């Protein structure tokens, strides 16, 4: 279940017309949402409020170990339409499931965007580029997280994230990212102060260039409509001399696809010899399935994970999306790990109950437990 | 003195060694996995092979600070160039990005797609060809176990071979890192481990009270852990430090007869019976009142030094021949030394006997000892000062007035006859047990003249050889008798100590002992924890 602050950030992304899916980091997002969904641990309560269209606060309590909590504030320079928990649409806003990718759109015209943005007061422009400020303080530990996001120009967004070092005594970490997206391709450059980590991510979409052909081509109705994308990422840590890289390929069907929506990806890490392939489908409106196969050519370790997500319609006649109620999602891996999650809404509260069970954990020297994680999360926002 | 290492049981060919190695391996494995491992190690650390080699370390004694039956302190120089080795097996994470990202907060993680996918590699590391040379300070105390500290960094060289030997970069890194860790283990973890192991072997109650932490330290250890923990225990099999119990039969310490006598005496304190068993050839703690001297070391306690045959051992381990030295204790400074061999001691004692009726201070100084008033004078007094207190010097002060006149005559010139004369006098039967379960209050009314006994302090180690030789030649065969008596006395002390330990920790049976503890603090071996 998406946290309130995550929902606000998603609303900010859509308000500034930023396509989050066009990034290599989200190449296999559909499969990951269906297979790697996080289950709550312990009891987690969160109370949030969109105090004004441009600011939001949230307070959370969790029973993980001793009672711990966090307090977060968010400010955005543009109004954000974030629905409350009573009105949020589970399927699109709250629960991340199969992610249907849309056709590429060209980046906004610069002059148009400026004209929309400009605010005059006393003969001067006082508007600024869209920005978002977010801070979160974890109370018992005294750790502070901060995020500053700002549109740099029509195709770029800069993000600076930081975590204070109170808990770890090393002075904190700062991550600076510059994301560039022109539709046909996108790149991200990042720098982390922890080990002076330099990173680069790139994604290239095969097919038409939305800057030259803004409208999607008309195809016969029974032809598959999809998009191939390829990407790569490179990381290099200057201080600890660590490097990492990976490449990936994705095929996803677009909304006009006649058959069921599906997404296939294959990723490769040549340094570690790791290959993984995923396949995710949405079978109608009520179910989505995904599977992943991983293999390591050096250590011959392999794993197969399958997951599913089920919805049910309250009344068969109604076709409104809001009437879908979430039944649950489950995943099972060949290593004997089972994850279960059930989310829903009671009155105005959003809750999620879930756990992780490991059937093969017993026998290790550390003494594994059968039920690794179980928890309940309750969310309320106004 | 020599150290005899019995290294043969550790030879892998014998059957006893396999059991030892199995236990050592499981102990080491448990210790290595007890604490949190660094994130680069993804699996448990298992000990594949452990062998202590066939050669023992060479120990050369540099200095012995203190030696007794139940304590020992010494400085050694240790050299080891044997063929012990240790093999560890575990799995490490080969993706440094994975290790890095697992330790940093997720909020600032760059969020790689699969660049941080894990790759676990099994690795086997063998530590061998240990070369150790260094100075080690060893302190052994029966109650507190063994403490072993290295004065310098003992590790000279160490060979690390692993499955990564074909990659020189990793092999060099492993060699440097493991050498660093082993040096740290020697300096920091090894003393703790040896201490706990020794406690577990010899003093399980104390070890249990430490919280059941009886395993080795948590860092990757080396076979030298076992090396040096075995090294200072040359007598693991035959343990002369075992407490001689009454059921022991007294194989090498006491005859059962004497032990039974002492037991009977001890029991007599607990009944209302007026009959007290007589003991021949004994000395009592009370006789040693004021038997202190300025040359005493910190290990000697007032009025107990004659009960500490160990503290009086000279370098050859023999008892001082003047155990039977008698020293008269007077009230106001008149001192009649039995023989003028040590006039300085007498004068110092006299000066001390004057000022001990004051309050006792808990701080001890090696020079001045407060005279402890240990007995209650319940008799109808015939002396000048008649203060029924629990002060120790009362009896001497009151008693010496009358028999002082007879002291000089009755005082036998050479020590041995005087000792036996005094000792053979019967012990008062109506003695009220007022302090200590097995020590008697002296009765100056009878022939028993404790005050006529002069106790010279033990010849310390710093005594000149000439003096020692003189004493030995003068006393001749009486040394044996003194040794026997001293051992008896030692046995009584042990009984007292056991009595203390069996009692509740806070409860003190006699007020005198409370005061004694106050003065002596925690340095008193008999009462030491």
CB within 8 Å: B117 and A274: yes
Q: How far is B57 from chain A (nearest CA, A)?
A: 34
CB within 8 Å: A246 and B104: no
Which residues of chain B have a CB within 8 Å of the CB of A276? 114, 117
The model's pTM: 0.60
* Rounded alpha-carbon distances, angstroms, from residue A281 to A265, A286, B281: 12, 12, 101
Number of H helices, E strands in chain B: 14, 7
**Which among A28, A192, A240 is the nearest to B110, CB-wise?**
A192
Backbone angles phi, psi at A157, to 5 degrees: -135, 135
CB within 8 Å: B100 and A195: yes
B 93-112 → A contacts, CB under 8 A: 94-97, 99-100, 104-105, 107-112
Tokens of B430: 């109506």
Q: How far is B17 from chain A (nearest CA, A)?
A: 26
CB within 8 Å: B114 and A301: no
Tell me the average pLDDT across B76-99: 87
pLDDT level of residue B284 (50, 70, 90 thresholds): confident
Q: Are strands B85-93 and B120-141 parallel, antiparallel or unpaired?
A: antiparallel
Reduce the DSSP state of residue B365 to 3 states and report it. coil
* Cα gap B431→B450, rounded to integer Å: 14
Residue B219 has pLDDT above 70, yes or no: no
**Farthest-apart Cα atoms in chain A, separation:** 74
Q: How far is B217 from chain A (nearest CA, A)?
A: 17
CB within 8 Å: B117 and A242: no
Q: How many residues does chain B have?
A: 529
Is A365 within 8 Å of chain B by CB? yes
Tell me the average pLDDT across B56-82: 83
Residue with tokens 């200095």: B63
From B168, B162, B173, B154, select the one nearest B79 (Cα to Cα): B154
Q: Where are the alpha helices (DSSP H) in chain A?
A: 4-15, 29-35, 110-117
**Which among A194, A234, A272 is the nearest to B95, CB-wise?**
A272
Q: How far is B502 from chain A (nearest CA, A)?
A: 39
pLDDT at B11: 62
Residue bearing the bigger pLDDT, B420 or B483:
B483
pLDDT at B450: 47
Q: Is the dihedral of CA B1, B6, B7, B8 positive or negative?
A: positive
* Cα gap B474→B412, rounded to integer Å: 15
B460 CB contacts (<8 Å, ≥6 apart)? B295, B296, B297, B314
Which of the residues B117, B118, B163, B218 would you substitute to probe the A interface, choosing the one with the greatest number of A C-beta atoms within 10 Å? B117
CATH entry, A4-381, from 3.40.50.620, 2.40.50.100, 2.60.120.920, 2.40.160.10: 2.40.160.10
Q: How far is A193 from chain B (nearest CA, A)?
A: 10
Check: complex ipTM more than 0.90 = no
Is B87 within 8 Å of chain A by CB? no
Report the chain A residue with the minimal C-alpha distance to residue B105: A163
Which of the residues B33, B91, B97, B103 would you substitute to probe the A interface, choosing the one with the greatest number of A C-beta atoms within 10 Å? B97
Is A367 within 8 Å of chain B by CB? no
Which residues of chain B have a CB within 8 Å of the CB of A299? 119-121
Q: What is the pLDDT along chain A (382 residues), one digit of tens a residue?
A: 888 999 999 999 999 889 899 999 999 999 999 999 999 989 999 999 999 999 999 999 998 778 889 999 999 998 998 888 888 777 778 888 888 888 888 888 888 877 877 778 888 877 788 899 999 999 888 889 999 999 998 899 999 999 987 666 677 889 999 999 998 999 999 999 888 899 999 999 998 888 888 887 888 888 888 999 999 999 999 988 888 999 999 999 998 888 899 999 999 999 999 999 999 999 988 899 999 999 999 989 899 999 999 988 776 666 665 667 777 889 999 888 899 999 888 888 889 999 999 887 665 555 567 788 889 999 998 8
**Maximum mean pLDDT: which of A107-116, B382-391, B485-494:** B485-494
CB atoms within 10 A of CB A155: 18
Q: How far is B110 from chain A (nearest CA, A)?
A: 7
Residue with tokens 């790569």: A232
CB within 8 Å: A244 and B33: no
- Give domain limits for chain B: 22-204
CA B143 to chain centre: 6
Which of the residues A25, A165, A235 would you substitute to probe the B interface, choosing the one with the greatest number of B C-beta atoms within 10 Å? A235
pLDDT at B21: 81
CB within 8 Å: B104 and A173: yes
Backbone angles phi, psi at B57, to 5 degrees: -70, 150
Residue B453 has pLDDT above 60, yes or no: no
| B106-155 pLDDT, tens digit each | 888 888 999 989 898 899 999 988 888 888 888 888 777 788 888 888 88
| B63-75 pLDDT, tens digit each | 888 788 878 888 8
| B331-372 pLDDT, tens digit each | 333 444 344 444 444 444 444 444 344 444 444 444 455 666
From B263, B289, B418, B427, select the one nearest B349 (Cα to Cα): B289
**Farthest-apart Cα atoms in chain B, separation:** 104
CA B202 to chain centre: 12
* Cα gap B122→B232, rounded to integer Å: 37
Residue B309 has pLDDT above 50, yes or no: no
- Give domain limits for chain A: 4-381
Residue B472 has pLDDT above 70, yes or no: no
pLDDT at B1: 58
A 163-192 → B contacts, CB under 8 A: 163, 173-175, 177, 190, 192
pLDDT level of residue B209 (50, 70, 90 thresholds): low
Q: How many residues does chain A have?
A: 382
Q: Say if residues B277 and B264 touch (Cβ distance below 8 Å).
A: yes
Residue with tokens 């001067």: A124
Residue B329 has pLDDT above 80, yes or no: no
Which of the residues B34, B101, B110, B121 would you substitute to probe the A interface, choosing the one with the greatest number of A C-beta atoms within 10 Å? B110
Which residues of chain B have a CB within 8 Å of the CB of A366? 33, 44
Reported in sequence order, the residue ranges of A197-286 that DSSP labels E, i.e. its strands, are 197-205, 226-237, 242-253, 262-269, 274-283
pLDDT at B3: 65
From B56, B240, B32, select the one nearest B140 (Cα to Cα): B240
* Cα gap B489→B247, rounded to integer Å: 18
pLDDT at B467: 63
Which residues of chain A have a CB within 8 Å of the CB of B102? none
pLDDT at B327: 40
pLDDT level of residue B437 (50, 70, 90 thresholds): very low
* Cα gap B185→B331, rounded to integer Å: 58
Tell me the average pLDDT across B464-482: 65
pLDDT at A377: 92
B 236-255 → A contacts, CB under 8 A: none
**Which among A25, A28, A194 is the nearest to B104, CB-wise?**
A194
Tokens of B413: 């010139």
Is A25 within 8 Å of chain B by CB? yes
Q: Say if residues A44 and A62 touch (Cβ distance below 8 Å).
A: yes
B 15-54 → A contacts, CB under 8 A: 33, 44
Residue B476 has pLDDT above 80, yes or no: no
CB within 8 Å: B110 and A274: no
Q: Mean pLDDT score of chain B, rounded to an integer? A: 64
């Amino acid at each position: 279940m998406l946290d309130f602050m995550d929902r606000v950030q998603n609303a900010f992304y859509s308000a500034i017309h930023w396509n989050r899916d066009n990034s290599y980091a989200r190449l296999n997002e559909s499969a990951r949402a269906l297979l790697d969904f996080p289950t709550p641990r312990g009891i987690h309560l969160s109370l949030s409020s969109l105090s004004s269209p441009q600011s939001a606060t949230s307070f959370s309590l969790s029973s993980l170990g001793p009672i711990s909590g966090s307090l977060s504030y968010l400010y955005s320079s543009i109004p954000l339409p974030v629905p409350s928990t009573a009105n949020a649409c589970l399927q699109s806003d709250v629960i991340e499931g199969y992610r249907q990718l849309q056709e590429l759109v060209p980046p906004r015209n610069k002059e148009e965007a400026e004209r929309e943005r400009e605010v005059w007061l006393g003969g001067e422009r006082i508007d600024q580029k869209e920005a978002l400020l977010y801070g979160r303080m974890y109370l018992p530990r005294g750790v502070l997280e901060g995020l500053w996001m700002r549109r740099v120009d029509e195709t770029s967004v800069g993000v600076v994230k930081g975590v204070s070092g109170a808990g770890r005594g090393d002075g904190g970490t700062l991550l600076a990212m510059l994301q560039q997206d022109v539709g046909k391709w996108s790149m991200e450059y990042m720098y982390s102060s922890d080990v002076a980590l330099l990173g680069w991510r790139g994604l290239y979409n095969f097919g038409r260039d939305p800057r030259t052909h803004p409208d999607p081509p008309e195809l016969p109705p029974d032809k598959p409509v999809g998009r191939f994308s390829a990407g790569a990422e490179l990381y290099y840590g200057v201080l600890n001399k660590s490097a990492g890289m990976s490449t990936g390929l994705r095929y996803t069907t677009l909304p006009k696809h006649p058959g069921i929506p599906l997404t296939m990806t294959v990723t490769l890490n040549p340094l570690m010899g790791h290959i993984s392939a995923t396949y995710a489908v949405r079978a109608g409106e009520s179910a989505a399935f995904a599977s992943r196969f991983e293999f390591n050519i050096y250590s011959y370790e392999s794993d197969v994970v399958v997951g599913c997500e089920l919805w049910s319609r309250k009344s068969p006649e109604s076709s409104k999306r809001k009437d879908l109620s979430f039944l649950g999602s489950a995943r099972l891996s060949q290593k004997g790990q089972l994850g279960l999650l059930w989310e829903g809404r009671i009155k105005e509260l959003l809750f999620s109950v879930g756990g992780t069970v490991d059937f093969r954990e017993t026998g290790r020297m550390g003494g594994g437990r059968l039920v690794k994680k179980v928890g309940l999360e309750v969310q309320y926002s106004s | 003195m020599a150290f005899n290492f019995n290294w043969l049981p550790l030879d892998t060919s014998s059957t006893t060694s396999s059991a030892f190695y199995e236990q050592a391996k499981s102990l080491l494995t448990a210790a290595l996995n007890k604490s949190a491992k660094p994130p680069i190690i993804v699996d448990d650390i298992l000990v594949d092979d452990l062998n202590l080699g066939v050669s023992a370390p060479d120990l050369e004694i540099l200095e012995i600070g203190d030696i007794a039956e139940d304590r020992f302190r010494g400085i050694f120089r240790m050299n080891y160039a044997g063929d012990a080795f240790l093999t560890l097996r575990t799995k490490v994470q080969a993706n440094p990005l994975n290790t890095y990202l697992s330790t940093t907060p997720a909020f600032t993680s760059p969020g790689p797609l699969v660049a941080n996918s894990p790759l676990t590699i099994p690795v086997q590391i063998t530590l061998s060809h240990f070369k150790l040379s260094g100075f080690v300070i060893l302190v052994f105390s029966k109650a507190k176990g063994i403490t072993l500290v290295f004065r310098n960094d003992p590790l000279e060289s160490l060979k690390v071979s692993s499955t990564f030997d074909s990659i020189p970069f990793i092999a060099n890194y492993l060699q440097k890192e493991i050498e660093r860790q082993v040096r740290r283990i020697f300096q920091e973890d090894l003393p703790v481990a040896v201490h706990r192991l020794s406690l577990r072997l010899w003093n399980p109650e104390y070890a249990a009270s430490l919280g059941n932490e009886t395993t080795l330290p948590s860092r990757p250890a080396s076979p030298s852990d076992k090396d040096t923990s075995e090294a200072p225990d040359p007598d693991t099999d035959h343990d002369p430090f075992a407490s001689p119990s009454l059921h022991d039969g007294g194989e090498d310490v006491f005859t059962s007869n004497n032990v039974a006598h002492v037991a009977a005496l001890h029991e007599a304190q607990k009944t209302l019976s007026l009959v007290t068993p007589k003991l021949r050839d004994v000395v009592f703690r009370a006789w040693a009142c004021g038997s202190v001297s300025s040359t005493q070391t910190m290990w000697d306690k007032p009025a107990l030094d004659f009960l500490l045959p160990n503290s009086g051992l000279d370098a050859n381990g023999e008892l001082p021949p003047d155990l039977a030295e008698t020293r008269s204790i007077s009230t106001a400074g008149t001192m009649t030394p039995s023989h003028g061999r040590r006039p300085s001691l007498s004068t110092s004692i006299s000066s001390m006997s004057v000022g001990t009726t004051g309050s006792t201070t808990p701080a001890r100084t090696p020079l001045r000892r407060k005279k402890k008033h240990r007995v209650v004078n319940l008799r109808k007094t015939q002396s000048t000062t008649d203060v029924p207190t629990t002060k120790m010097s009362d009896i001497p002060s009151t008693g010496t007035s009358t028999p002082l006149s007879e002291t000089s005559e009755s005082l036998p010139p050479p020590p041995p006859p005087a000792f036996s004369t005094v000792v053979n006098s019967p012990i008062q039967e109506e003695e009220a047990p007022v302090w200590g379960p097995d020590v008697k209050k002296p009765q100056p009314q009878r022939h028993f003249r404790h005050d006529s006994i002069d106790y010279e302090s033990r010849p310390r180690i710093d005594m000149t050889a000439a003096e020692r030789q003189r004493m030995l030649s003068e006393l001749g065969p009486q040394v044996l008798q003194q040794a026997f008596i001293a051992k008896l006395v030692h046995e009584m002390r042990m009984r007292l100590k056991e009595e203390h330990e069996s009692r509740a920790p806070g409860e003190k049976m006699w007020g005198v002992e409370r005061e004694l503890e106050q003065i002596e603090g925690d340095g008193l071996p008999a009462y030491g924890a």
